[in-house]
A and B are shown apart, each in its own frame.
Chain A
Amino acid sequence: MEEVKDDKTYKGFVDRLTLGITRVLENLPGVLDVRFVEKAPAEKRCLLSWEQKNNCALPEDLRDFYLTTDGFMLAWNSKLENEVVPVGCMMINNVAQLRPLIQSNVYCLPNAPTLADLDFDDDIDGSDGPEKPHFDLRSRIFELDSCNGNGKVCLVYKSCSPGVMAQQCEVWFLDRSLFWHYLTPSFTAYYRLMITHLGLPEWQYNFTPYGPSPQAKQWAALYQPLTFHSDPHLDTSSEPFLNKLDPTKAFRGKAKPPTPKKKQPAQVPASGTGTAKGQGLSGRHSVAKR
């Protein structure tokens, strides 16, 4: 009896945490192994320790999230012919994995290439969008998701000063080539985006100028038919012109009026023998004319 109650409570909890997406996924065609990894809540002192260590205040929604569950992991597979292919993966790092992103100190040579080479001080061309994060002390960047190696979703604190606790943060996407792309102003909005996109591969690339790769588009077309067609990338390219075949115009028959003839009323009521006689008559007529 207690086990049944616990199971129901657990399912309700999972439904509310994932906004009911596990149920939606299980009903999709070809979806197998919807796995939600349950995690214990983070302790309050761990959050305080993180804030003091990194000198950044966690936003209220992210703090509540970590006090509910320390990290998030939901993965699902798809059946393709006779193989099972891992497709979807929604992941949020736990507090311990929320490490600051700094350049790896592999090269210590003077004049070696650094992340400063990618930071352009003049943001004149980038003035139309929000100011992009920097790789130096002006920004504090923490990794939320590693996106299976295709970039990183980062929690970014901008306009930071040394020794001052940073308050405001945003969620940005840092792609493979270390270009920054703006995602959402808050963690809650990002969480909703992640759930809505079902954790499909490279879904974050929808917020980039180049979009996801062709393979990722195939998966999106299969499992997100409605939102995929409303993709802004498709709107920019004009709709392809389709040749329409008009069968009535192509196979139009020619209306030919019958030519009035002198002998025709005599031939119509005749039988088979009558037809033969008619031919003989026409032959005689030609002979007489000559």
Chain B
Amino acid sequence: MSAESVSCTVKSPVALQIGDAVSDSSRPGVYITDITLAEPVNIQEISFKNFYTAYLTVRLQRRHGSTASKWVTCLKNYCLMGNPHAEAGSHDYFSIYRQQMSTEPDNVTTVRLILRQPSSEWLSFSIEEINIYPCTKEDSERDVPAWLSTLTPVDEPLDLKGLPDPETVSSSIQQMWALTEIMQASQTAASIGRFDVEGAYDVKLLSYT
């Protein structure tokens, strides 16, 4: 997208574990990253680069005017890696658009990204280069995008510089095609004399001719 991203603060990921964290020696499989927006935004797109995260859940904190802000889940367990044990999708760039979200991402103050990786293959996992793009009213005003306006108009006559007349060329090609058809139809049935027996040449036969 050509639009500028929203200014936001990406906090460091927080590991989420269950049970006694002190005695638990296992590496966490869930990280939560909070992104604080400077002002409430109507989100159009969230783009990021993956680093071995298998599943992503997006939760938004929306402001409801006078009432307190509320957390909603707009994307649930979005699959980033087809197989958590394999490399496919581990370094891809992803974009989550407004249409993919289950709720309207309007008046958002905080974005919470829940990263999950069930496989023990990877030592660490995260997402990087997080950008959030707002909805712009400029998009609706423009009828035709920029790349469409560069197309050549159809009604403009073609410039035949240095080329022969297409009518003459067309009639000549048709005559040649007719001659080719006549040649195909007048093939003789007589075969050319050959000294091959069942597809193989016998050298001894040649000496008696």
Contacts and interface: CB of A to CB of B under 8 A. Distances in A.
Interface of A: 99, 101-104, 106-107, 111-115, 117-118, 120, 125, 135, 141, 143, 146, 148-150, 152, 174-179, 202, 208, 210-211, 213-214, 254, 256-257, 259, 261, 282, 286
Given A120-B73, A149-B26, A256-B200, A178 B21 contact: no
Interface residues of B, number: 43
B45 interface: no
Interface in B12-48: 14, 16-21, 24-30, 32, 34
A149 B29 CA distance: 10
A113 B118 contact: no
Contacts of A202: 120
A122 B14 CA distance: 25
B62 interface: no
Contacts of A177: 29-30, 54-55, 116-118
B26 A214 contact: no
B156 interface: no
Contact of A113 (B18, B26, B34, B83): B34
B21 A102 contact: no
B198 interface: yes
A54 B32 CA distance: 30
B159 interface: no
Contact of B18 (A104, A256, A259, A282): A104
Nearest to B81: A210
A256 B112 contact: no
A220 B119 CA distance: 17
21 contacts: A99-B19, A101-B18, A102-B18, A112-B14, A113-B32, A113-B112, A120-B73, A125-B76, A146-B24, A146-B26, A149-B120, A175-B118, A176-B27, A176-B28, A176-B119, A177-B118, A179-B116, A210-B83, A210-B118, A254-B200, A259-B197
Interface stretch (B138-146, B166-174, B201-209): B201-209
B19 A104 contact: yes
Contact of A261 (B19, B20, B26, B204): B204
Given A117-B59, A257-B198, A259-B204, A175 B17 contact: no
A178 B29 CA distance: 7
Contacts of A175: 29, 118
Contacts of B110: 111
B171 to A, nearest CB: 52
A213 B18 contact: no
Contact of B26 (A150, A208, A282): A150
Give the interface centre of A114, A146, A176, A282 by most chain B CB atoms within 10 Å. Answer: A176
B114 interface: yes
B85 interface: yes
Interface of chain A: mostly helix, strand, loop or mixed: loop
Give the interface centre of B16, B30, B121, B205 by most chain A CB atoms within 10 Å. Answer: B16
Contact of A106 (B21, B25, B57, B121): B21
B205 A118 contact: no
B15 to A, nearest CB: 9
Nearest to A141: B18
Contacts of B25: 149
A81 to B, nearest CB: 23
B19 A152 contact: yes
A176 B114 contact: no
Interface in B136-170: none
Contact of A118 (B30, B118, B198): B30
Given A174-B18, A257-B198, A117 B112 contact: yes
Sorted nearest first, the 7 A-B pairs with minimum C-beta distance are: A176-B29, A149-B26, A104-B21, A177-B29, A177-B116, A113-B32, A177-B118
B173 to A, nearest CB: 46
Give the interface centre of A101, A149, A177, A259 by most chain B CB atoms within 10 Å. Answer: A177
Contacts of B200: 254, 256
Contacts of B59: 117
B105 interface: no
A99 B61 CA distance: 34
Contacts of A125: 76
A210 B29 contact: no
Nearest to A282: B207
A213 B121 contact: yes
A127 to B, nearest CB: 14
Give the interface centre of B14, B21, B118 by most chain A CB atoms within 10 Å. Answer: B118
Contacts of A135: 18
